[in-house]
Structure 1
């Protein structure tokens, strides 16, 4: 009896296992309760019921994640309710879903002539019907997408065959039937992504630029894109994505019409990205020739040279009517005379819709093509694309706080220069008015001189820094900052720089900020302050610190930055208890990150920027110890990458300044390279250049001596020597010496520098650096001004 029970139990268990994990054949269909798994045990096919309703659907889901995530549904529009329903395959290779009465509810819809078929669920989540003899895929679920895009699946179009693959939203969270929204790529060149609500555009990505969509500002030059989009001359295009770490991920088109990206961290799903996420993401929010500004709150404005079409509606916040041109274009083909049209550049723009691609060589050729075509209303030359021109109304244009492209708008010359006769009348009127005003002003000048000057000073700053002139930056009120920093209390002070103090603050919404309170005696005037604000607002890179806004009240000038949890690099590098927290791998990552940020400043940003004060205290570290270059108040914009420029005012930090800059005021990309070299050697050694002394040697002399004796790896900070990677350390020492060469031409440029740090190619031997001991009583430097931190200096040179 015991033996009988054992065999009965074994038979029951075998039947149960066969029941749960099945194959699909004409004689062995898949029933409710059974599943088909992928060989990697990641995906599973079977019947499911949304929210435990009676409706049953055949779908694919992630096998071992909670909650269950459905990625594909076969019978989206026709659920079955009979418990005897099953999924089978016909003798001619068509997948069939039967209800309990053997009626066909859903079919894959194709038949084949073959000797046999196999149904399998691939490791990428693709349900396939495969020819047993040729192993050719006859049908696949990836050709019939639902609301989810997986890795290895793709959106596509083929103009020759008319084939399209797109995502369609569910009707609701519990109803997988087709909803209102469709996500697709367009056949225009370059392609762009669209979410459509019915036949109406709902969201647009902007044109594809090699590795990124131009309408998504997060996809800047620093973005490592998992996406790819390919178009060919035969009229087809394919968009897909692939995660390098092979983690589970998915892109979902929700029933509300948003695209959401999720990644699985091994335990739970993490929300990674969503679009549309901002009111300006809605298609054509501001109408033709309207510009949606992503400020807080968002607002619509007209492009320069345009005015609202319906003024009263516009004032009430109804912006859909858009804008119309103020001055008619009188285009004369090839005209260069006084009536020739002009182009006004607008920065940080999501390129409008309805563009055309023009095959040109460079920006100037793109400009000329548009100039000599009277129907061309705007143009943009975009990295990764080339020349785009607009011959129709500018629709769905957005202005970001950072990122975006430079769009040049065609205007009548009077929009920029004004009408001459009009100017004459205005000038005459102003002259008369000024004569009267000056008479009264002379009478009362002695009574209000001080108050008048103070008001002018305040108003001047306010007028210079209108939010519209610096898009994306917030103008904070002083009482807001005082509350956030506890009235600039010492307990909130986190740093002291050459131009003032830095305080930690917390806004009412809980957001942490860093407030740079510029000293009135710092030597930084209006020019530098404006330079820093405007400059940083135009620069965006993962290795650059981001400015959030500014505050001005009387003589007070404040800059508000994103708060960096780990403060500056020097708080780790030169602190005996904290330096062990940055071992060599972290230091090497910091070195490479600084180099990438510098490459962006020098080469990849629209502005070409020389920092001029690169040092450890100007390298901030985020919560993951990633470096961010800060303090652009000393930066100088310049044209080109190699040309020297001169300045009467030399600003920088002793020890970090290149010889040619310190003594003559000549600065270039190579002067920043010199500063980077010093910074690199400090990171390796853990020694501060201004305090280093060993037998009367400077840090550079000390490093040269070790490198000459083939002991470069011995320079690594002994507190982290256990983490040493000898090849990387030795190579970095040699790179550092190449960066601090006396002659600028002997130093690498920034592109070469990053290549040296990221490859194993041979390096040239460095020459012995010129060692200079900087002292504060050096009589060869006239008018030296050492600021509060006794390191940053301003030197005024004759010319």
Structure 2
């Protein structure tokens, strides 16, 4: 070997063992290349500077980590950590930083070094497909750190990406689930603590269901995908902000949480306590606002009521656990002590196969754990009961997909675990029971024995002779008075109506009476929990508006006129008749009315997002109204007004259009409401006089 060769070889050896010193100043870089590593203090920014990648330490720790955070959020919010279980240990107590290095080279692809820069602390563990190719690491505006393979500067594809290895945070567009080709399973795991991002005890897994585990034990089950949401998340945010997609094919099985407005920062974090929290960044308030969280209720605990039990949180003052139809507590003494962990077993241990057995419906539930259930997506919903009856091991069935009236069939063939009831959502579960239980439920729904019918008949005759005849005369007179009162307030247009009297428009005879359903006062009181303040949606000059749930589960909005409100009976009749005759997607739909004693109420369809003014005059909600949403609202209001002025059979002027009278549904579609001040015009009429000033 000549002297030149010896000198060159020595230089190589020296370079390989010399420590790479940290830079003295922080540098913002756009990529990491084999000859351009990132040192502790440097920051890798995404193209629009939304996210940043660099070295960081947590509040009460001197250890150094490499991670991604929001660059435009003042309070550093970490969303991904590379070396979460292998931190860079500080050289001395006074020097917690400066020794870290993130480099790209052929052995491992993307590598993190600490003090010993011959032994990596963390590696992406990938290599290029060809020795002639190179690698470049970049940070995308989605927060995804990608390692690209390049051939002479041309990208050959993604070798590795951080989104395939999420930590405790789920960002928009991160796939959660299984890649069947590479066997890669993407899931979240909590941090050990706020000062230690290491792998914690909590993590969701288990598709086609979503589970939250504590160690190896299931803590909460979000359920399986049923078309538009997970079965165990009735309030899943599928609206104008979020766009949730579920994919299940031969290559992949995952759920991805998209966002329609890229200017909104959203994240879902699995906290150290085992709670999954979705939040949105509020720029004006400079804080993260919680959107929803789970688990948060007593019945969210996995298997709270044991096998074949059902947890119902609405059992106020009672034990929340009950057995499913046809089952009874396995250990009654434990059940009385409110310990349902033993679950429920079949009553009488009789056969339920081919002996007159059938199904009983359990409404509004999170269906049982389907880990071992059978699914047939090609089976029609009507064929599902017979499919279950043909198999003696089948214990229950439900719809596989809730869309378009339901299709597909899910059948359970073992214990029914982790069933719970929701207040106003959920699926219908059909539980198989024997002929005896089926008959008992039929009797409880109105079928009586012969002795019972005879006893009731005898009692009825006695009551009629002793009580009914003497008071019948009084009841008839009271009924006549009630009819007179109801006729006085019935929603009909009369020639004495203030609003139609000064209008030159005429209504034909068919419009003189409305076919709107009449609701009894007791029905409305029950639906609104006796007009509870917790159900009040808003309050105006004419009274209050309450949210109600009818006995069939339908949500409604009840406008209750105050007894001394400014809106009189004429305005009330005006609003009922007008809305009943108007049909348009941008006008609120009336479902009925109630006039009883001094009460006057209108029952409307329930609109989820309340009124437009609740968004405009609220700093948090106003941030959600980007130009696309605002334009859609403006366009919808204009279409509604055009319909009133030009396209409807009755030409109507609203006369009280304002933000509080524009309601927004779940998709932010506007609906014009409150027609108490409206006025009808003739088709060829362009102006008219009024007897009084109205509007706001």
Instruction: Sort the TM-score into its range (normalised by shorter chain).
Output: 0.5 to 0.7
Change beyond 3 A, Cα 1:678–1:390 = closer
Q: Which residue of 2 aligns with 1:278?
A: 297
1:358: Cα distance to partner? 2.7
Partner of residue 218, structure 1:
235
Q: CA separation of 1:130/1:197 partners in 2, compared to 1, >3 Å: closer, same or farther?
A: same
Q: 1:564 to 1:239 in 2, by over 3 A?
A: same
Partner of 1:405: 427
- Select which of 54, 57, 61 maps to 2:65: 57
1:227 corresponding residue in structure 2: 244
**Is the CA contact 1:59–1:71 (under 8 Å) kept in the aligned structure 2?**
yes
Describe the superposition over 1:700-732 as per-residue Cα deviations: whole angstroms up to 9, x where unpaired.
Answer: xxxxxxxxxxxxxxxxxxxxxx99976652234
1:264 to 263, 267, 281: 281
Measure how far apart 1:254 and its partner are: 1.3
| Deviation, structure 1 residue 318 | 1.1
Matches within 5 A, 1:173-252: 173-186=194-207, 191-219=208-236, 225-232=242-249, 234=250, 236-246=252-262, 247-252=264-269
1:320 aligns with 2:341: yes
In the alignment, what sits opposite 1:97? 112
Residue of structure 2 equivalent to 1:416: 438
> In structure 2, what is the Cα distance between the partners aligned to 1:419 and 1:130?
64
The CA distance in 1 between the partners of 2:274 and 2:99, in whole Å, is 35
Contact 1:288 1:394 in 2 (8 A): yes
SS at structure 1 position matched to 2:221: strand
Instruction: State the TM-score, normalizing by the size of structure 2.
Output: 0.63
C-alpha distance in structure 2 between counterparts of 1:284 and 1:304, whole Å: 17
**C-alpha deviation, 1:54, in angstroms:** 2.1
Note the alpha carbon deviations across 1:358-417, whole angstroms, 9 max, x for none.
336654322222233322211223513623222221110001111111111111121132
What is the rounded CA distance, in whole Å, between the counterparts of 1:728 and 1:427 in structure 2?
57
TM-score when normalising by structure 1: 0.56
The question of whether the paired residues in 1 share the 8 Å contact of 2:191 and 2:272 is answered with yes
Please give the secondary structure, in 2, of the residue aligned with 1:737: coil
3-state secondary structure, aligned to 1:314: helix
Assess if the C-alpha contact under 8 Å between 2:365 and 2:422 holds in 1. Answer: yes
- State the alpha-carbon separation in 2 of the partners of residues 101 and 413 from structure 1: 75
Whole-angstrom CA distance in 2 between matches of 1:131 and 1:220: 37
Q: Aligned with 1:168: secondary structure? A: coil
Determine the C-alpha separation between the residues in 2 that align with 1:87 and 1:324: 59
- Where in structure 2 are the equivalents of 1:444-523 lying within 5 Å? none
Separation (CA, whole Å) in 2 of partners of 1:317 and 1:725: 54
After superposition, residues 734-749 of structure 1 pair within 5 angstroms as: 734=646, 736-737=648-649
Match of 1:352 in 2: 368
Give the one of 124, 127, 130 matched to 1:108. 124
CA contact (8 A) 1:673 1:739 kept: no
Measure the CA separation in 1 of the matches of 2:166 and 2:142. Answer: 14
Corresponding residue of 1:293: 312
| 2-structure distance, mates of 1:427, 1:94 | 79
By how many angstroms is 1:738 displaced? 7.9
Match of 2:139? 121
* Superposed displacement of residue 35, structure 1: 1.3
Name the SS of the counterpart of 2:296 in structure 1.
Answer: coil
Structure 2 CA distance for aligned equivalents of residues 362 and 147 of structure 1: 40
Query: Residues 616 and 679 of structure 1 are in contact (CA less than 8 Å); yes or no, is this contact kept in structure 2?
Result: no
1:46, CA displacement in angstroms?
Answer: 1.0
Tell me if the contact between 1:155 and 1:239 (Cα under 8 Å) persists in the aligned partners: yes
Instruction: Please list the CA deviations of residues 681-715 of structure 1 after superposition, one character each: whole Å capped at 9, or x if unmatched.
Output: 999xxxxxxxxxxxxxxxxxxxxxxxxxxxxxxxx
1:27: how far off?
3.6
Deviations 1:87-117 (A, max 9, x none): 1111456112112222311111112134322
Q: 2:172 aligns with which of 148, 151, 154?
A: 151
Alignment partner, residue 383 of structure 1: 402
SS in 2 for 1:76: coil
CA–CA distance in structure 2, aligned partners of residues 176 and 725 of structure 1: 49
Q: CA deviation at 1:286?
A: 0.5
Q: Root-mean-square deviation (CA), in Å?
A: 4.9
Distance in 1, matches of 2:588 and 2:267, equals 44
Relative to structure 1, the CA distance from residue 679 to residue 180 in structure 2 (aligned partners, 3 Å threshold; closer, same or farther) is closer
SS at match of 1:226: strand
Unaligned runs of 5+ in 1: 1-14, 334-338, 451-496, 500-526, 537-546, 550-557, 573-589, 620-651, 659-670, 684-721, 741-753, 760-767, 770-799
